[in-house]
Structure 1
Amino acid sequence: MPGALPDGEPVPSDGSLPFEPRPSSLGVYVHVPFCASRCGYCDFNTYTATELGGGASRDAYADTVLSEIRFAGRIMAAPVETVFVGGGTPTLLSPADLGRILEGIDRTWGLAAGAEITTEANPESVTASSLRELRAVGFNRISLGMQSASPGVLAILERGHTAGRAPRAAAEAREAGFEHVNLDLIYGTPGETAEDFATSLDAVIAAGVDHVSAYSLIVEDGTRIAARMRRGELAYPSDDVAADRYLAAEQALGAAGFEWYEVSNWATSEDARCRHNRLYWTGGDWWGFGPGAHSHVGGVRWWNVKHPSAYAKRLAEGVSPGLAREILNDEDRRVEDVMLRLRLREGLPLTAADPLGAEKALANGLLEAAEFERGRAVLTLQGRLLADAVVRDLLP
């Protein structure tokens, strides 16, 4: 999970945790840090070939991850219910290498029957043939980074695929036998018109996928798009435009049979919802592999060294790649519960919220009255637009 690293205590060289964890089940995240090129808005822990430097090899990466998986297997055991391979561009690795990583997870912990096994992919990084190979090695869900159907918007975002490639890749994934297919959209890009976004929504719906994620463009310091905005070449995103785009997404996707289950995610059925991401939103247990990957088991959170070379070097020396960790106390967990569970369709118990703040949010039309009577804080449509503000209300 990319993001700023909080302060924390060092992880022991053997990777041991401060207590013996006994989760009933586990999610696994595998970070693949490679990209063919860097998109202008991206600040994830990813690297192009020219940025990698020495000591990191895409060809050797599967073996490096497998060595970390074996390392983790000495520390704890639990059946794996979900696997999510993200990045970067995971499909820059061959289907055979990705399959070997899945086999290593299965050997180490065991993949539960019916496990959800997802890979992210850029549309231009897969073909009908490679999708069939990915399905054959065990992947049953794929998330494709479409972002937009507008060539102009894709150019501003510096995406590498043509406007029609993502829907075609989604169709190829369905034909290859993937049970669930997601398309990602980004809205609020400078220069994007309402018509551009409507075209993107139409394309997603026509593609026949069963899951859609739609995110407002976040401008991160250090990215090329942020530099262009500072120079005045591009306008900064507008909150009002982002709200209009979100309402358009809700209307179009709802009319097409999608239901929101998390503020930025819609699915056509409960089965189509991403089970792995739910672990993040509900404080579940997952182990993250790869440079910069974050993990959370039993209230302990830790994260790996970020650069692929440092990551590979530690594992080659038989040392844990963990950089630091923190133990969440009850208040930490409560705050995170409010921040994350409130984003879900089922919301959170009012007992976790500040009573005065909850009453204020209800009076402002940001929480559903019927759910409030049942003892739950559930966002209205207006509340979804102002979710961060509602969180501040609910935290005393």
Structure 2
Amino acid sequence: MTTTARYDAAQFPKPSLPALPVLSSLKLNRTASNTIPAGVLTCTHRVHLYSGRYAIFLALQCANIGAGDRILVPAYHCLAMIEPLRLSGVEPVYYPLNADLSVTVTELSKRIDQNVKAIIVVHYFGFPQNFQAIRHLADQYHLIMLEDCAHTCFGQKEGIGVGHLGDYAIASTMKFYPSVHGGILASAHHELKTDGLKQPSFAVEVKTLINGLELAHQYGRLAYFGKLLKMIAWLKLLVFKLKSPSTNKVISANKTNQNPPPEYAMSPAWLGCQASRVSQFFMQQTRINDLVQMRQAHYDQFLAALQNRSDCRPLYPIRTPESVPQVFPLYVNNCLPVFVQLKKQGVPIIRFGEFLDDAVTGNTCQVSLDYAEHVLQFPCHQSLSKVEVKWIIARLILALDANSDI
């Protein structure tokens, strides 16, 4: 797997703003009504896990897919998607994507053989896609369809909620909720094999609570609780001495890499463990209406400021009403110097797909290689204010102007 960066991440300071949602005293649910929109969380069968990659691992077990089997996987991916496949002994077979990240059914058909057991499809960056044709293809060849909704907890397409079309769906709730960690395996069609799953220890629950409060306080989100956090700092020192799944030795299918990026390292303990009750409580206390409306408003803020530039382009120049954006994905012509300049200034940036499996080449999918090189994602979550989004945009525009290749 390709893991060599062309910059030294150690040179960058901690982001000045949170890249993912954090707790906020202003965003807690204070009403009895908190209706969840259509999406993965409205599937009939659900189980909360540590993260999306553990949900993929469990999905393979539920579908009886394992060693010797093959799965069709999009060429534009994060390594966290590939790791559970390799740990299960499953071979990923990469298929190309179009420029709008849609899938051509004929390209999938070319790659189906007797060992292919499933297809993974992705709703990228919070924009639901129409996978009806792929559903028909999966039915035709008796394949399992796994909807990767790590970027799209909510939303619908053609009246069908994301996650409801596939046999199984996975989500990454920590991308949408201030849950510290969290993923979901769901299905609208099949019961899930959850008998062997265990609950996290009390120490893990306490650490999750403290980590969530501390992270929020670091970003100035819990001003009223600042003194309280200082008073319980000693508790953190005590609890951190206790063993938890997150501190166990990680496992990786990439045996040749001694220092794998955190996003695809997996702990054996969390493979058979549900998400903490604390992380689920943080989810339950989130006001869904605010989550949806603020993400959409922040995305529109980015869009209004950047859609007419010649040195970059939004991957999705139109935000559809049914979309709840995970991030604002931006194609930057002269990407690397812009990225480095922004990171040095403390601007939070996410780089999905920056590292791809070595099996993905120009012959596999040129779009994926291009996007891995040029697409940056900026947070637009509900823990940010309009002023903070404006701050990100202002620095982004300055970096674009300073590094324009026009």
Give the alignment's TM-score, normalised by structure 1: 0.27
Higher strand share: 1
